[in-house]
Structure 1
Amino acid sequence: MSSLERLTPSGLHHVPGAFTPAVLVHGADLAFLSGQVAWDENGVLTGEDHVTQMHQIAHNIDVALAAAGCGREDIVKETVYVVDYRPELIAGLFGALRREVSVAPASTLVGVSALFDPAVLVEVDVVAKIPA
Structure 2
Amino acid sequence: MTARLTSPDGMLQHAPYHHVAVATGSTHVHVAGQVGQVGNEPVAADDLAAQVAQALRNTATGLAGAGASFSDVVRLTFYVARWTPDRIETLMAGVQSVADEVGLPMPMPPASLIGVEVLFEPDVLVEVEATAVLP
The answer to whether TM tops 0.5 is yes
Aligned to 2:14: none
Aligned to 1:107: 111
Aligned to 1:50: 48
**Could you tell me the percent identity over the aligned residues?**
32
Cα pair distance change 1:53/1:75, threshold 3 Å: same
Is 2:125 the partner of 1:118?
no
Gaps of 5+ in 2: 1-24
Aligned to 1:62: 60
Gaps of 5+ in 1: 1-26
Counterpart amino acid of residue 119 in structure 2: L
Aligned residue-pair number:
104
Note the 1:27-106 alignment, pairs <5 A. Answer: 28-41=26-39, 43-48=40-45, 49-98=47-96, 99-100=99-100, 101-103=104-106, 104-106=108-110
SS of the residue 1:115 aligns to = coil
* Displacement of 1:66: 0.9
TM-score between both structures, scaled by the size of structure 2: 0.69
Cα pair distance change 1:84/1:40, threshold 3 Å: same
* Displacement of 1:95: 3.9
SS of the residue 1:66 aligns to = helix
Contact 2:43–2:124 (CA<8 Å) still a contact in 1?
no
Report the RMSD for the aligned CA atoms in angstroms: 1.7
TM superposition outliers: structure 1 runs of 4+ over 3 Å:
none
Counterpart amino acid of residue 89 in structure 2: A
TM-score between both structures, scaled by the size of structure 1: 0.70
Q: Which has the higher contact order (CA 8 A, sep 6+)?
A: 2
* Displacement of 1:50: 0.9
